[in-house]
C-alpha cells in the first residue's frame, strides 16, 4: 500500500499549484474563501484564464481541446483548484453536455457545439427538474411533439442553476407519453433566446439568486438538435450521472472550507479564553477533521480503483452523500464559532469591497452559507436517491 | 497511489485466512473458549508455526514483519474469525515489549512460536485508559525489587506463565518518567491472579501483587524509562483492534445484508423496504470510512509518535462510533433472532462493541486527537 502520489503525479500537482498561484486572481479566491457570491463576469474571467492554459474542458479528449488527463490528474486538478479557493468551472457545458455530445452526439453537433462551449460563446444550463419531477425525474412532463423537421416543446423546468446567464439549455423532454416513463424521454438542445422561453429567478433561503424557473412555450426545436435517438434520453441522462464522479465529494473545496472555518475558530474567544479551550467545541472540530480525513482517503481509494478499472463504481453515491454532509457540517460549526454574530444579515457584506463589518472578520456570510449549503444534499440526486442507488448497486438489496 | 498489499503480505493474509476458514468456525471457537485457558493451545501453536505471530514483530526484534500494514492485515483476518487466542496480550503487546527491551530472558522465540504465553499487566483499577497512571510500586530490596499493587483486566494473565508488570520506581502517580517494567513468574509467591471470562469471549484477570520479590535480572528496558515501550505496545494494540473491527464489521454487513435478502415479512424480503435500505447504506458508509482511517493509521505507524498517535486516535474514535452503529443495526435488523445467542451475529456484535473498552474509548480518543492536532 502506498497513499502517496507518484513522483510524476506530484510533479503534475506542483505544476497545477504553481499555475494557480500565478494565475488565480485574488479577488476571485477571496470571494470563494469568504463564501461571497460570484457573478457572471467572475465565472467568465476564470474560464478565460483556464481556456488560455488549455485546462477548461478537463474531461474532453485533446482533439476537442481538452488536456487529455487521466483519472488521477483530473482528481488532482479538482483538489488543487478547491484548495486554492478557485471558482468552480460552471459544469453544464464543459462537464455535462460536452461528455454527452462526445459519446452520443452527431458529428454535426460535436463540430458545432463543442467549440462554442469551449469558447464561451454558449453558456449552457440544465433542464432536468420540473415542478412535478424532482427525485422522480423520469416522471417529467415537458412535451416535445414532432412536426416534420422540428419538435414543438411545451412545459416548465425548475431549479435551473445559473440559468439567468445561459443562452442555451439542454432538456429532458417527453416524446412518448404512452410507454414506460423512462422509455419515452428524449435529450434536446434548446435556444434560450427563443421568445417562447422565459426565465424567472427563485430567491433562495439565504437570499441568493442562483436558481430559476424556465418556462417553455411552443418552442420549435429542429430535429438536428435532438441528441442521439428519440426516446433514449434517459440512457444519456444516466450516463451523465456515472461520468466523472471521482470529484463528486469536492474534497478540495471541503478542505479549503475547513481551513477557513478553522481560522475563524482560532480567532474566537469566549469569556476571555480561546474558543478551542472549550473541550466540547474542540471535540466538534476534531470530529469534523477526522471525518474529512476519512473521506479524503475513501476518495483516493475510489480514484485508485477507477484508475485500475476505468470507471468509478457505485461508491460515488456514498461519496456524494459524505461530501454534502461534511460541507454542511463545516458551516454548522462555523456559525456556532461566531456565536451571536451569526445573526446580522447585511446584504452589502456579500460584496468583496465591503469594509464596514459587524462583528468578527468573515462572519457576515456564515449563516447564509449554512442555509445555502442545505442544497448539497438535495441537488444532483438527493441523499435519498444516492442511498437508493447504493442499496441496489452496492449492496444488492 | 496503491491500495493493495505487497505480494509477501498477501501471502501471509491468505495463509491465515484459509487456515481460519478451514479450522476455525464458530463451533471451533466455542470449543476453544471451553478449554481451561479460554483458547486453543493447539490453534495457537499451529498459527505460530505458520509464522503469523512472527509477522507482528519486526525483524530487528526477532520477528519478520511488525509494520503497521502487517498488524492491520493479520488482525482484520482475525476479526473475521473472532479468534480468541492471545493475540493482543502475548502475540502483539508482550512480544513487542520484549523485542523493544532486548529480551534479556530469551523469551521471545517461544512467544512467537506459540509455546509460551506472556501477558502484559499494566492497567490498574484506578487508571481508566490513562497509560501513565501507575500506582503499583517497585522498591529496591537488596539487589532486587519488591512489587506491590493491583493490575486490572489484564488480557490472558490467567494463563500466562510470565507477566510483564509495570511499576513505579520514581515520580508521581501519573508521571511519564519513573515507570519500570519487570518480567514476573506468574507462580511467584505474592502473585494472586483472579481469572475470568470477558463478555466478548476472551479471558482476562485481576492481578494482586503483595511483596513480590524479583531479582534485578527481572527488570527489562531502562529503569524509570519503561513507559515508552508500553505506549508503543498500546499503539500497536490500538491499530490491531481497529483492524480487527474492520474484519468484524465486514462480516456483520455481509451477514445482515444476506438476512435482509432472505427474511420475508409482509410478503416480501425485508431488504426491499427503503427504511432498512437507507440505514444499511449508512452502515456500509461507516465501514468504508473506518477502513480509510485504519489504512491511514497503518501508513503512518512507523512515523514519530505524535503523528502515529493522532492517526490512531482518529481511527479509534471513529470506529468506536461506527462499531456501535454497525453492531446495533445488525441486531436491530435481525429482529428477535438477533437476540438469540445461537445466532452467529451476536458474537460479532459483542466483540465489536467491547473493543471500545480496550486501549481508550471513543471519547478518550477524540480528546486525545483534539489535543494532538491543535
| Mean per-residue pLDDT pooled into runs of 10, chain A (397 residues) | 93 98 96 91 97 95 95 94 95 94 97 98 97 95 97 98 97 97 98 97 93 98 98 93 77 93 94 94 97 96 88 87 96 96 90 85 90 94 95 96
Place of cell 506491590: B148
Judged by CB atoms closer than 8 Å, whether chains meet at A294 and B274 is answered as: no
Q: Which CATH superfamily is domain A245-393 in?
A: Butyryl-CoA Dehydrogenase, subunit A, domain 3 (1.20.140.10)
Judged by CB atoms closer than 8 Å, whether chains meet at B370 and A318 is answered as: no
Please indicate, yes or no, whether the overall pTM of this predicted structure exceeds 0.90: yes
**Residue A216 DSSP class:** E
pLDDT at residue B48 tops 90: yes
How confident is the model over B247-277, as pLDDT tens digits? 999 999 999 999 999 999 999 999 999 999 9
User: How many beta-carbon pairs below 8 A join chains A and B?
Assistant: 122
Residue A354: what pLDDT?
A: 85
User: Of A304, A315, A322, which has the smallest distance from its Cβ to B1's Cβ?
Assistant: A304
Judged by CB atoms closer than 8 Å, whether chains meet at B284 and A1 is answered as: no
Residue A244: what pLDDT?
A: 62
Instruction: For chain B, say whether A10 makes contact (Cβ under 8 Å).
Output: no
Residue A173: what pLDDT?
A: 98
Instruction: For chain A, say whether B314 makes contact (Cβ under 8 Å).
Output: yes
User: Of A3, A388, A391, which has the smallest distance from its Cβ to B1's Cβ?
Assistant: A3
Instruction: For chain B, say whether A382 makes contact (Cβ under 8 Å).
Output: no
Identical topology for domains A122-230 and A245-393: no
Instruction: For chain A, say whether B67 makes contact (Cβ under 8 Å).
Output: no
In chain B, what residues touch A396 (CB-CB under 8 Å)? 257, 261
Instruction: For chain A, say whether B257 makes contact (Cβ under 8 Å).
Output: yes
For the domain bounded by A122-230, which CATH number is listed? 2.40.110.10
Residue A310: what pLDDT?
A: 74
B94-119: average pLDDT: 95
Higher pLDDT, B93 or A240: B93
CA distances from A110 to A90, A115, A191 (A): 19, 8, 16
Instruction: For chain A, say whether B278 makes contact (Cβ under 8 Å).
Output: yes
Under DSSP, is residue A130 helix (H, G, I), strand (E, B) or coil? strand
Judged by CB atoms closer than 8 Å, whether chains meet at B281 and A276 is answered as: no
Judged by CB atoms closer than 8 Å, whether chains meet at B1 and A293 is answered as: no
Judged by CB atoms closer than 8 Å, whether chains meet at A294 and B317 is answered as: no
Q: A266-271 long-range contacts, Cβ below 8 Å, gap at least 24?
A: A267/A360, A267/A361, A268/A337, A268/A338, A268/A339, A268/A360, A270/A339
How confident is the model over B121-148, as pLDDT tens digits? 999 999 999 999 999 999 999 999 999 9
HEC assignment per residue over chain B: CECCCCHHHHHHHHHHHHHHHHHCCHHHHHHHHHCCCCCCHHHHHHHHHCCCCHHHCCHHHCCCCCCHHHHHHHHHHHHHHCCCCCHHHHHHHHHHHHHHCCCCCCCHHHHHHCCCCEEEECCCCCCCCCCCCCCCEEEEECCEEEEEEEEEEEECCCCCCEEEEEEECCCCCCCCCCEEEEEEECCCCCEEEEEEECCCCCEEEEEEEEEEEECHHHEECCCCECHHHHHHHHHHHHHHHHHHHHHHHHHHHHHHHHHHHHCEECCEEHHHCHHHHHHHHHHHHHHHHHHHHHHHHHHCCCCCHHHHHHHHHHHHHHHHHHHHHHHHHHHHHHHHHHHCCCCCHHHHHHHHHHHHHCCCCHHHHHHHHHHHHC
* Best residue in A135, A286, A301 for a mutation probing chain B (most B CBs within 10 Å): A286
The terminus-to-terminus CA distance of chain A in angstroms comes to 31
User: By C-alpha distance, which of B152, B155, B154, B198 is closest to B351?
Assistant: B198
User: Of A283, A294, A321, which has the smallest distance from its Cβ to B370's Cβ?
Assistant: A283
Residues 6 or more apart whose CB falls under 8 angstroms from that of A22 comprise none
How confident is the model over A170-183, as pLDDT tens digits? 999 999 999 999 99
Query: Over the range B79-109, which residues count as b (16 or more CB within 10 Å of their CB) and which as e?
Result: bbbbbbbbbbbbbbbbbbbbbbbebeeebbe
Geometric angle at alpha carbon B295, from B292 and B297, rounded to 5°: 110
pLDDT at residue B216 tops 90: yes
B319-329: average pLDDT: 98
CB B104 within 8 A of CB B63: no
ipTM of the complex: 0.94
Residue A138: what pLDDT?
A: 96
State which residue of chain A sits closest to B5, comparing Cα positions.
A1
CA pseudo-torsion sign B88, B92, B96, B98: positive
Average pLDDT across chain B, whole number: 97
Instruction: For chain A, say whether B274 makes contact (Cβ under 8 Å).
Output: yes
User: By C-alpha distance, which of B234, B221, B30, B36 is closest to B120?
Assistant: B234
The Cα of B6 is separated from the nearest Cα of chain A by a number of Å equal to 7
* Best residue in B370, B371, B372, B373 for a mutation probing chain A (most A CBs within 10 Å): B370
Angle, in degrees to the nearest 10, between helices A383-393 and B274-299:
80
Judged by CB atoms closer than 8 Å, whether chains meet at A294 and B314 is answered as: yes
In chain B, what residues touch A321 (CB-CB under 8 Å)? 281, 285
C-alpha A305: how far from chain center: 23
In chain A, what residues touch B316 (CB-CB under 8 Å)? none
Judged by CB atoms closer than 8 Å, whether chains meet at A388 and B374 is answered as: no
Instruction: For chain B, say whether A363 makes contact (Cβ under 8 Å).
Output: no
Instruction: For chain B, say whether A282 makes contact (Cβ under 8 Å).
Output: yes
Instruction: For chain B, say whether A5 makes contact (Cβ under 8 Å).
Output: yes
For the domain bounded by B228-373, which CATH number is listed? 1.20.140.10
Judged by CB atoms closer than 8 Å, whether chains meet at B1 and A298 is answered as: no
- The answer as to CATH 3.40.1550.10 being correct for domain B119-223 is no
Cα–Cα distance between A85 and A318 in angstroms, integer? Answer: 24
Under DSSP, is residue A183 helix (H, G, I), strand (E, B) or coil? helix
- Domain residue ranges in chain B: 7-116, 119-223, 228-373
B111-117: average pLDDT: 96
User: Of A72, A318, A396, which has the smallest distance from its Cβ to B285's Cβ?
Assistant: A318
B347-371: average pLDDT: 98
The Cα of A265 is separated from the nearest Cα of chain B by a number of Å equal to 12
For domain B7-116, the CATH class is mainly alpha
Instruction: For chain B, say whether A6 makes contact (Cβ under 8 Å).
Output: yes
- Domain residue ranges in chain A: 7-89, 122-230, 245-393
Average pLDDT across chain A, whole number: 94
Instruction: For chain A, say whether B21 makes contact (Cβ under 8 Å).
Output: no
Amino acid at each position: 500500500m502506498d497513499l502517496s502520489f507518484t513522483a510524476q503525479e506530484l510533479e503534475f500537482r506542483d505544476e497545477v499549484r504553481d499555475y494557480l498561484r500565478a494565475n488565480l486572481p485574488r479577488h476571485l479566491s477571496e470571494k470563494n474563501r469568504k463564501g461571497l457570491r460570484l457573478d457572471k463576469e467572475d465565472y467568465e474571467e476564470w474560464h478565460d484564464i483556464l481556456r488560455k492554459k488549455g485546462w477548461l474542458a478537463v474531461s474532453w479528449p485533446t482533439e476537442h481541446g481538452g488536456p487529455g488527463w487521466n483519472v488521477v490528474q483530473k482528481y488532482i486538478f479538482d483538489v488543487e483548484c478547491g484548495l486554492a479557493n478557485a471558482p468552480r468551472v460552471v459544469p453544464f457545458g464543459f462537464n455535462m453536455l460536452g461528455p454527452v455530445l462526445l459519446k452520443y452526439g452527431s458529428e454535426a453537433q460535436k463540430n458545432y457545439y463543442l467549440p462554442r462551449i469551449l469558447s464561451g460563446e454558449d453558456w449552457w444550463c440544465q433542464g432536468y427538474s420540473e415542478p412535478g419531477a424532482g427525485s422522480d425525474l423520469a416522471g417529467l412532463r415537458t412535451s416535445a411533439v414532432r412536426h416534420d423537421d422540428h419538435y414543438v416543446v411545451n412545459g416548465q423546468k425548475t431549479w435551473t442553476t445559473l440559468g439567468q446567464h445561459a443562452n442555451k439549455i439542454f432538456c429532458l423532454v417527453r416524446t412518448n407519453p404512452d410507454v414506460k416513463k423512462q422509455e419515452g424521454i428524449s435529450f434536446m438542445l434548446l435556444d434560450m433566446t427563443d421568445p417562447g422561453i422565459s426565465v424567472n429567478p427563485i430567491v433562495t433561503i439565504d437570499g441568493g439568486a442562483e436558481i430559476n424557473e424556465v418556462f417553455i412555450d411552443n418552442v420549435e426545436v429542429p430535429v438536428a438538435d435532438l441528441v442521439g435517438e428519440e426516446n433514449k434520453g434517459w440512457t444519456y441522462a444516466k450516463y451523465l450521472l456515472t461520468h466523472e464522479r471521482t470529484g463528486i465529494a469536492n474534497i478540495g473545496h471541503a478542505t479549503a472550507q475547513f481551513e477557513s472555518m478553522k481560522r475563524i475558530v482560532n480567532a474566537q474567544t469566549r469569556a476571555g479564553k480561546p474558543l478551542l479551550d472549550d473541550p466540547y467545541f474542540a471535540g466538534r472540530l476534531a470530529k469534523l477533521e477526522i471525518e474529512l480525513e476519512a473521506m479524503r482517503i475513501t476518495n483516493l481509494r475510489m480514484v485508485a480503483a477507477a484508475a485500475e478499472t476505468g470507471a468509478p463504481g457505485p461508491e460515488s453515491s456514498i461519496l456524494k452523500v459524505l461530501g454534502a454532509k461534511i460541507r454542511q457540517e463545516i458551516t454548522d460549526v462555523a456559525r456556532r464559532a461566531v456565536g451571536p454574530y451569526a445573526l446580522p444579515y447585511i446584504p452589502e457584506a456579500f460584496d468583496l469591497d465591503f469594509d464596514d463589518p459587524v462583528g468578527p472578520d468573515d462572519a457576515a456570510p456564515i449563516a447564509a452559507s449554512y442555509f445555502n449549503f442545505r442544497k448539497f444534499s438535495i441537488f444532483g440526486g438527493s441523499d435519498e436517491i444516492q442511498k437508493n442507488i447504493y442499496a441496489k448497486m452496492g449492496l444488492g438489496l | 497511489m496503491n491500495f493493495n498489499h505487497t505480494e509477501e503480505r498477501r501471502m501471509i493474509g491468505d495463509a491465515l485466512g484459509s487456515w481460519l476458514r478451514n479450522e476455525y468456525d464458530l463451533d471451533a471457537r466455542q470449543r476453544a473458549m471451553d478449554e481451561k485457558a479460554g483458547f486453543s493451545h493447539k490453534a495457537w501453536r499451529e498459527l505460530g508455526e505458520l509464522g503469523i505471530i512472527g509477522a507482528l514483530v519486526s525483524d530487528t526484534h526477532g520477528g519478520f514483519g511488525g509494520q503497521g500494514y502487517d498488524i492491520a492485515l493479520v488482525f482484520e483476518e482475525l476479526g473475521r474469525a473472532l479468534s480468541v487466542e492471545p493475540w493482543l496480550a502475548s502475540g502483539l503487546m508482550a512480544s513487542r515489549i520484549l523485542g523493544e527491551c532486548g529480551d534479556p530472558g530469551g523469551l521471545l522465540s517461544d512467544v512467537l512460536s506459540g509455546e509460551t504465553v506472556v501477558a502484559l499487566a499494566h492497567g490498574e483499577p484506578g487508571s481508566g485508559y490513562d497509560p501513565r497512571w501507575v500506582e503499583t510500586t517497585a522498591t529496591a530490596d537488596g539487589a532486587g525489587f519488591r512489587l506491590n499493587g493491583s493490575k486490572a483486566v489484564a488480557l490472558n494473565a490467567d494463563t500466562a506463565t510470565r507477566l510483564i508488570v509495570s511499576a513505579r520506581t520514581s515520580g508521581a502517580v501519573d508521571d511519564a518518567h519513573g515507570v519500570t517494567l519487570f518480567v514476573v513468574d506468574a507462580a511467584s509467591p505474592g502473585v494472586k491472579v483472579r481469572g475470568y471470562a470477558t463478555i466478548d469471549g476472551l479471558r482476562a484477570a485481576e492481578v494482586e501483587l503483595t511483596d513480590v520479590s524479583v531479582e534485578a535480572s527481572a527488570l527489562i528496558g531502562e529503569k524509570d524509562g519503561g513507559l515508552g515501550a508500553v505506549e508503543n505496545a498500546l499503539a500497536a494494540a490500538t491499530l490491531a483492534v481497529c483492524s480487527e473491527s474492520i474484519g468484524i464489521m465486514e462480516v456483520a454487513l455481509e451477514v445482515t445484508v444476506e438476512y435482509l435478502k432472505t427474511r420475508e415479512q409482509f410478503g416480501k424480503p425485508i431488504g426491499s423496504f427503503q427504511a432498512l435500505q437507507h440505514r444499511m447504506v449508512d452502515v456500509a458508509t461507516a465501514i468504508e470510512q473506518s477502513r480509510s482511517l485504519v489504512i491511514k493509521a497503518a501508513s503512518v505507524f512507523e512515523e514519530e509518535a505524535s503523528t502515529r498517535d493522532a492517526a490512531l486516535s482518529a481511527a479509534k474514535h471513529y470506529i468506536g462510533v461506527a462499531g456501535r452503529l454497525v453492531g446495533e443495526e445488525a441486531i436491530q435488523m435481525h429482529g428477535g433472532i438477533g437476540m438469540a445467542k445461537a445466532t452467529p451475529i451476536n458474537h460479532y456484535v459483542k466483540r465489536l462493541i467491547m473493543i471500545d473498552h480496550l486501549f481508550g474509548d471513543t471519547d478518550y480518543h477524540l480528546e486525545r486527537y483534539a489535543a494532538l492536532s491543535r
